[in-house]
Structure 1
């Protein structure tokens, strides 16, 4: 049954409603940024109809273009669409705080995910991510690649993302998809969904962009002039968040350069925290909380974790708020709709590429993991179980496989 509620009315909600839903996601969303997009799509598009498929894909495309934690930016935008600025803040805090707390606890010495049981649990969570990403690819492909032009764009985008390493491959794929959409999809790209409701005025957007650039260029100068260790920590994590496209694992080399190469954190500490970060729900960017807590420079502890966490997320959110006021004007133009159709198809291809590498290739390492992945996929697709239940099944299955082997 088609939802005929006008989009502007869909935007009327409460911050508490957003907080409750995203808190559950923050406690159960395992699998990294690509899997998070699948969780968000299930809640905001399929279950609650806050956005339609086209609107959600447009958000994903926009956030992939911008530097910062892409999945957290999508969640932030969904919260803003539903309940304004408080909704955006509620979505961010609810989705981020659970994993940040776990990372800070680990920084204080909690021994998590060790031994066969811990390793099996970690492997089971990775297998769950395979099923979740596969569900997202299947659902988005049905809606966003309905003809041969867009299906071909998705296939080429997947090849580009697989053959060109790193975030550059993803950006190249989206750029090629946008160009191909402009050339091939003018007839097939009908009107997009209703105008998204983002209560951000143009002057606020411009101010956000100015703040973003001022901090990016000015923080190193202030640190050099004052010698403040706390500002040095803020600058290092802000720069990492400002210069990474796609978020997730892409940020790790930048964080390593900021805290390991400078001697703030040892390589052993960095790798231990990275292992735990893969096993917790929520955004991988909360790895910054662990690094800020154990850093030899800056306040350290809980305060250091808060400084690092705020700094790594801030630039991506400033950019998103800066762009949103101008987005609806662009997306309603005929040429812009064609470009967006091609870019959306490219996003499907990128998700398909990510399903293979690294999600499938790192999680499915034998017959047992493959069988468990199939079980999780069937539970999601055929049995329609909520993702958190599938997470429990996958985690338990991973422990069983580890004990059997």
Structure 2
């Protein structure tokens, strides 16, 4: 029982402190789960990140679910998700009910944006040292970085990671001196769960649109819209914005102004950006709508991850899969650097003061070894004082 309580409390702490979006979350996870608690090692973490980057859905939430599942099985994965997601769900549902029309200024949130700069920089350095150790892997990371920043496409990151994975499949499977040594019991999920999860994912994806179009039930239509959005998003929470806007704004279910206000709030609060769905659902149908939207948009992430994890040890121990994952892992570093520039750097560093404060937070985090929660608190104070 203590193990499950610990999983929940650690993920709840991360859910309260993880500002800055999906890329920053990976930095918080790396610091907490790998460096501090050693729940999994560098290789296991990088492989899990690579898998979740490749799957559709909220990558950082899937990484959190995966870590919880590795630590405590199916129930551990659910507890990890609830702890990480609950704070932002509650905040955004309350925001939808109370503060949508408020004139309150949130300029102090700039301090939290600067925190995300420091956290992501730390993640890039830490993961880069482990995943890009040769000229080849550095080149693969640079290749993904270039494509991610120069080509404007929702699917460019998936395409780029596929290309680096194929390169690794062909050229990198013999270059590693160690094959992936994973404990057989690392992922405590039976293969039966995997088959059921994958089957249910595709079944819902095909049946929900037909069922919702045959009825005028707003709850079914909402569930279908959020489920499809969660199933088709590659590249993290920011990509879900145009999908959700197309589902709800033209139909008049939520105004454009309320939509943008909610999205700004979702970026300002800790936790996954996908909880923007909680705001929309609450705006449309109250608390019940917020709960339904949250379940629907995250359900595909659960089904896909639980569908793959039971076979993960077998996949990783395969020499071809090892090369494939090595190529993707290098590409993930490129994605981290690209996301560090846009949107994190471009939306956070707008003046010399921004750069000075972000650099100070980075120094405190890297060299003075301040914990992440302390950096967040300092960021809040700096935001209040200077903005």
Instruction: Give TM-score scaled by structure 2 length.
Output: 0.96
Cα distance in 1 for partners of 2:88, 2:101 equals: 13
Which of residues 143, 162, 166 is equivalent to 1:179? 166
Quote the residue 1:194 is aligned against.
182
Q: Distance in 2 between matches of 1:51 and 1:167?
A: 31
Relative distance call for 1:193 and 1:142 in structure 2 (3 A) is farther
The answer to whether structure 1 residue 52 and structure 2 residue 41 are counterparts is: yes
Please say if 1:262 is aligned against 2:262.
no
Whole-angstrom distance in 2 between the partners of 1:323 and 1:98: 28
Corresponding residue for 2:271? 282
Give the conservation status (yes or no) of the 8 Å contact 1:149–1:185.
no
Q: Is 1:42–2:31 an aligned residue pair? A: yes
**Equivalent residue number for residue 132 of structure 1:** 119
* Alpha-carbon shift at residue 193 of structure 1 (Å): 4.1
* TM-score, normalization by structure 1: 0.92
Are 1:382 and 2:367 matched, yes or no?
yes
Structure 1 distance, partners of 2:130, 2:102, is 39
For residues 342 and 13 of structure 1, what CA distance do their matches in structure 2 show? 38
Contact 1:237 1:312 in 2 (8 A): yes
1:4-403 to 2 correspondences below 5 Å: 14-110=3-99, 118-119=106-107, 121-189=108-176, 190-195=178-183, 197-295=186-284, 300-402=285-387
Query: RMSD between aligned alpha carbons?
Result: 1.7
Q: Residue 183 of structure 1: CA displacement?
A: 3.5
- Residue 344 (structure 1) shift: 0.5
Query: Whole-Å Cα distance in 1 between the matches of residues 293 and 368 of structure 2?
Result: 41
Over residues 81-105 of structure 1, what are the superposed CA-to-partner deviations in whole Å (9 max), with x where a residue is unaligned? 0011111111111111111101011
- Preserved contact between residue 148 and residue 335 of structure 2 (Cα < 8 Å): yes
Relative to structure 1, is the Cα distance of residues 13 and 342 closer, same or farther in structure 2, using a 3 angstrom cutoff? farther
Partner SS for 2:98? coil
Contact kept? 2:60, 2:272, Cα under 8 Å? yes
Q: Equivalents in 2 of 1:343, 1:234: separation in Å?
A: 32
Alignment check: 8 A CA contact 2:109 2:380 kept = yes
Q: 1: distance between equivalents of 2:279 and 2:24?
A: 22
Instruction: Please give the per-residue CA displacement for 1:296-344, whole angstroms capped at 9, x wherever unaligned.
Output: xxxx111110000000000111011111122221211112211111111
Whether the aligned pair in 2 keeps the contact of 1:157 and 1:176 (CA below 8 Å) is no
In structure 1, distance between residues paired with 2:85 and 2:356: 32
| 1:222 CA drift (Å) | 1.4
How many angstroms does 1:47 deviate by?
0.7
Partner of 1:8: none
Measure the CA separation in 2 of the matches of 1:152 and 1:193.
Answer: 26
Q: Is the 8 A contact 1:160 1:172 kept in 2?
A: no
8 Å contact from structure 1 (residues 55, 193) kept in 2: no
- The separation in 1 between residues aligned to 2:153 and 2:343, in whole angstroms, is 11
User: What is the distance in 1 between the residues matched to 2:383 and 2:292?
Assistant: 35
Q: How far has the Cα of 1:398 moved from its partner?
A: 2.4
CA contact (8 A) 2:72 2:188 kept: no
Q: Secondary structure at the match of 2:133?
A: coil
Please report how far the alpha carbon of residue 228 of structure 1 lies from its aligned counterpart in structure 2 after TM superposition: 1.5
Deviations 1:224-273 (A, max 9, x none): 23321111111111111011012211111111111112210000110111
With over 3 angstroms needed to count, the CA separation of the structure-2 counterparts of 1:44 and 1:175, relative to structure 1, is same
| Aligned residues of 2:230 and 2:301 also touching (Cα < 8 A) | yes
What is the distance in 1 between the residues matched to 2:153 and 2:308? 24
